[in-house]
């Protein structure tokens, strides 16, 4: 049988419609299996991850940049929260990037870019501004303006990876990797024998510092260095009957909290550290003059003026302060036990 | 020729329709793959570790990672993350290093932009990297005694301290401008740290109250002008100092934000007990 031209069209269309019907009857059940998926919830609008992202994800889909879609796994991808951003909220309208009016082989970058690969023309303040539009209303970031990171043009994206499911800087075990990218002196210090357990992920940089700005020095979380240290080392806080002044001024006078080669993160080994402020017992240390015994004329108090063991703190055990009320020997005012 | 053309078109339509039909499960698979790319995931990680050498070889390596004393360790981590797509409620439960002494557990639940609560358990073990030789006996008991022996002839002891802490925090947005935050953490530190004193050495330890009989190699001669009470030299007496501290920190903060003004009223309290 020979079909006319119109008959052929009709027959072909019928075939197509039959199979289209079959397909549409199967498809809903397939989608129903995963109705909670963000992509499914917005299938009608062709948005994949964020509200109104179709204009971007029509190109930047799972084939082009699957890592970009991971923003759906983050707090930014929570569509139930109406405050969460669209692509445009952070990257701008980017008309020239979307429409590519000149038909250039390489499109212009979006209006606001954050990654270094764009040979970034977006200033750090503009980048940060995109984030602060929403995030400034939080006490943890209330001192961003004027903070050392802000004044040195460190944008949020220098530390935060917004499109990643797990932002490294937010996890205790990986945060130091981000901080060490710039703070290389501290990286070297944390590889010294006496240090806080940063590399093991038991303490994080943000346990002591607020990188978003504080009223304290050195971006300390509390108002001073000592207040910050006393959160965990409270036994050294006092108040003591016999105080040692540096303990209430700055722990960093004697300790380098990022790490040293001397036990207890001391900056130098006693007695040499102590001798920076205090006169040694006697005028000379025998070890410094390559002698095994102190000269008779420089005996020092009680004759104990050597550097063995823990140095000065062999006897001055209460170096952070003593509550011994007595004024008699063994002289608690000298922070002896 | 015409008939052939007609058949060809019909076959094309048929192939197209079949492709579309076959694409239904493919769409379902694609949807699952898309969910993997865009939806929060949970994970479980397990493993084992063999560490070579003995515990003194691992003095630096095992200082904080909980792997100093033995050779074989297991490890188990998990990360449960769930987001309710309808309400935006996040529930996160994480466990790290659960088979080690350095284990930690974290819980948080958050209705984004409304409220957030967290809970935390954390354990930090610090193994003192140097082995000390001490004359102290009864370590770990309530009956500590120092036996007067010559330096270097006491017991070799490896000290450690352990911090165990639990913490809670809460956050509530009272309005778009008012935010209330609070947190509480209590931490207990136990163990022993190095302590000691310099000690004069006497020739006859048994007859002098403060005296220790010092080996010649460990003693430093005291000049005659300073030698009092019959001391003939000096030595270091290293002792473990028992530690049992409890530290509590409490914060409460009320914050106000608008375009030009940020104000916080806060209370910070900390309590220490031995």
Q: Do A200 and B65 touch (CB under 8 A)?
A: yes
What does pLDDT average to over chain A?
Answer: 80
Task: Collapse the DSSP code of A250 into the 3-class scheme (helix H, G, I; strand E, B; otherwise coil) and give the result.
Answer: coil
Q: Give the per-residue pLDDT at B4.
A: 47
Compute the distance between CA of residue B222 and CA of residue B205 in angstroms, rounded to an integer. 16
Is residue A301 predicted with pLDDT exceeding 60?
A: no
Contact residues on chain A for B90, CB-CB shorter than 8 A: 75, 78
Is residue A28 predicted with pLDDT exceeding 50?
A: no
Instruction: Choose the closest CB to B85 out of A27, A41, A137.
Output: A41
Question: Following CA atoms B66, B68, B72, B73 in sequence, which dihedral angle do they give, to the nearest 10 degrees?
Answer: 0
Give tens-digit pLDDT for A135-145.
988 888 989 99
Q: Which residue has the higher pLDDT, B221 or A311?
A: A311
Contact residues on chain B for A28, CB-CB shorter than 8 A: none
Question: Following CA atoms A63, A67, A69, A72 in sequence, which dihedral angle do they give, to the nearest 10 degrees?
Answer: 150
Contact residues on chain A for B102, CB-CB shorter than 8 A: 200, 202
pLDDT confidence bin for A172, thresholds 50/70/90: very high
Which chain B residue has its CA at the smallest distance from A237's CA?
A: B272
Task: Collapse the DSSP code of A26 into the 3-class scheme (helix H, G, I; strand E, B; otherwise coil) and give the result.
Answer: helix
Task: Collapse the DSSP code of A184 into the 3-class scheme (helix H, G, I; strand E, B; otherwise coil) and give the result.
Answer: helix
Count CA atoms within 13 Å of residue A84 on its CB side: 20
Instruction: Choose the closest CB to B13 out of A12, A37, A234.
Output: A12
Is residue A12 predicted with pLDDT exceeding 70?
A: no
Which chain B residue has its CA at the smallest distance from A286's CA?
A: B220
pLDDT confidence bin for A105, thresholds 50/70/90: confident
Q: Give the per-residue pLDDT at A71.
A: 94
Compute the distance between CA of residue A90 and CA of residue B151 in angstroms, rounded to an integer. 68
For residue B168, the tally of other CB atoms under 10 A from its CB is 14
- Please report how the helices B2-38 and A5-32 are oriented relative to each other, as an axis angle in degrees rounded to 10: 20
For A298-332, give the DSSP string. Answer: ---GGG-----TTGGGGT---TTEE-----STT-G
Q: Give the per-residue pLDDT at A62.
A: 86
Q: Is A218 on the interface with B (CB under 8 A)?
A: no
Q: What share of chain B is helix, strand, coil (3-state, %, to 5)?
A: 15, 50, 35
What are phi and psi for residue A320, nearest 5 degrees?
Answer: -85, -10
Q: Give the per-residue pLDDT at B83.
A: 95
- From chain A residues 53-92, the ones with a CB under 8 A of any chain B CB are 62, 66, 69-70, 72-73, 75, 77-81, 83-84
Instruction: Choose the closest CB to A34 out of B13, B35, B102.
Output: B35
Task: Collapse the DSSP code of B116 into the 3-class scheme (helix H, G, I; strand E, B; otherwise coil) and give the result.
Answer: strand
Q: Do A81 and B187 touch (CB under 8 A)?
A: no
Compute the distance between CA of residue B141 and CA of residue B154 in angstroms, rounded to an integer. 17
Interface ipTM: 0.80
pLDDT tens digit at each of 274 positions of chain B = 444 444 555 555 555 555 556 555 555 666 888 888 999 999 999 999 999 999 889 999 999 999 999 999 999 999 999 999 999 999 999 999 999 999 999 999 999 889 999 999 999 999 999 888 887 888 777 787 877 666 677 888 899 999 999 999 999 999 989 999 999 999 999 998 888 766 655 554 444 444 455 544 444 444 444 444 444 555 667 788 889 999 999 999 999 998 888 899 999 999 999 8
Q: Do B65 and A20 touch (CB under 8 A)?
A: no
Compute the distance between CA of residue A285 and CA of residue A279 in angstroms, rounded to an integer. 11
Q: Do B272 and A237 touch (CB under 8 A)?
A: yes
| Closest C-alpha to B150, from B196, B230, B206, B228 | B206
Is residue A100 predicted with pLDDT exceeding 90?
A: no
Is residue A160 predicted with pLDDT exceeding 80?
A: yes
Q: Would you say B193 and B161 are in contact if contact means Cβ atoms under 8 Å apart?
A: yes
pTM of the entire predicted model:
0.80
Q: Give the per-residue pLDDT at A290.
A: 56
């Amino acid at each position: 049988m020979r079909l006319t031209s119109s008959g052929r069209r009709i027959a072909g269309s019928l075939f197509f419609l039959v199979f289209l019907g079959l397909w549409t009857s199967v498809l809903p059940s397939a989608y129903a299996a995963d109705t909670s998926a963000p992509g499914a919830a917005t299938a009608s609008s062709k948005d994949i991850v964020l509200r109104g992202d179709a204009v971007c994800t029509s190109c930047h889909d799972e084939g082009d940049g699957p890592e970009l879609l991971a923003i759906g796994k983050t707090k930014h991808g929570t569509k139930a929260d109406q405050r969460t951003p669209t692509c445009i909220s952070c990257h701008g309208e980017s008309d020239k990037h979307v429409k590519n009016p000149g038909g250039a082989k390489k499109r212009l970058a979006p209006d606001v870019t954050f990654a270094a690969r764009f040979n970034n023309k977006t200033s750090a303040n503009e980048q940060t501004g995109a984030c602060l539009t929403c995030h400034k209303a939080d006490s943890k970031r209330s001192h961003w303006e004027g903070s050392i990171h802000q004044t040195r043009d460190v944008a949020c994206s220098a530390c935060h990876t917004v499109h990643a499911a797990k932002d490294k800087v937010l996890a205790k075990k990986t945060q130091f990797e981000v901080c060490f990218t710039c703070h290389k002196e501290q990286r070297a210090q944390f590889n010294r024998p006496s240090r806080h357990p940063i590399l093991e992920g038991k303490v994080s940089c943000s346990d002591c510092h607020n990188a978003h700005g504080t009223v304290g020095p050195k971006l300390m979380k509390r108002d001073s260095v000592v207040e910050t240290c006393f959160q965990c080392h409270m036994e050294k806080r006092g108040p003591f009957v016999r105080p040692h002044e540096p303990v209430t001024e700055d722990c960093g006078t004697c300790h380098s909290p990022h790490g040293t080669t001397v036990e207890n993160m001391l900056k130098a080994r006693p007695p040499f550290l102590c001798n920076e402020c205090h006169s040694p017992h006697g005028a000379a240390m025998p070890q410094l003059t390559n002698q095994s015994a102190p000269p008779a004329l420089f005996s020092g108090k009680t004759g104990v003026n050597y550097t063995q063991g823990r140095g000065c703190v062999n006897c001055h055990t209460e170096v952070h302060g003593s509550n011994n009320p007595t004024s008699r020997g063994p002289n608690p005012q000298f922070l002896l036990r | 020729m015409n008939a052939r053309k007609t058949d060809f078109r019909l076959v094309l339509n048929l192939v197209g329709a079949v492709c579309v039909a076959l694409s239904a499960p493919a769409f379902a698979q694609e949807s699952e793959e898309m969910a993997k790319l865009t939806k929060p995931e949970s994970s479980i990680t397990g493993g084992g570790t063999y560490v070579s050498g003995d515990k003194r070889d691992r003095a630096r390596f095992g200082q904080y990672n909980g792997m100093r004393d033995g050779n074989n360790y297991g490890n188990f981590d998990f990360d449960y993350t769930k987001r309710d797509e309808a309400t935006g409620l996040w529930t996160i439960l994480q466990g790290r290093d659960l088979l080690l002494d350095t284990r930690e557990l974290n819980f948080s639940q958050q209705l984004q932009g409304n409220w957030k609560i967290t809970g935390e358990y954390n354990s930090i073990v610090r193994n003192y990297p140097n082995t000390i030789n001490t004359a102290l006996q009864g370590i770990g008991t309530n009956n500590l005694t120092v036996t007067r022996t010559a330096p270097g002839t006491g017991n070799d002891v490896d000290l450690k301290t352990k911090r165990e802490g639990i913490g809670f925090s809460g956050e509530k947005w009272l309005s778009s401008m008012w935010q209330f935050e609070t947190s509480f953490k209590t931490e207990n530190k136990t163990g022993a740290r190095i302590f000691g004193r310099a000690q004069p050495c006497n020739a006859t330890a048994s007859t002098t109250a403060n005296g220790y009989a010092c080996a010649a190699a460990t003693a430093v001669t005291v000049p005659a002008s300073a030698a009092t009470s019959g001391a003939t030299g000096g030595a270091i007496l290293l002792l473990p100092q028992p530690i049992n501290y409890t530290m509590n920190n409490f914060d409460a903060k009320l914050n106000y934000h608008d375009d030009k003004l940020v104000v916080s009223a806060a209370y910070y309290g900390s309590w220490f007990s031995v």
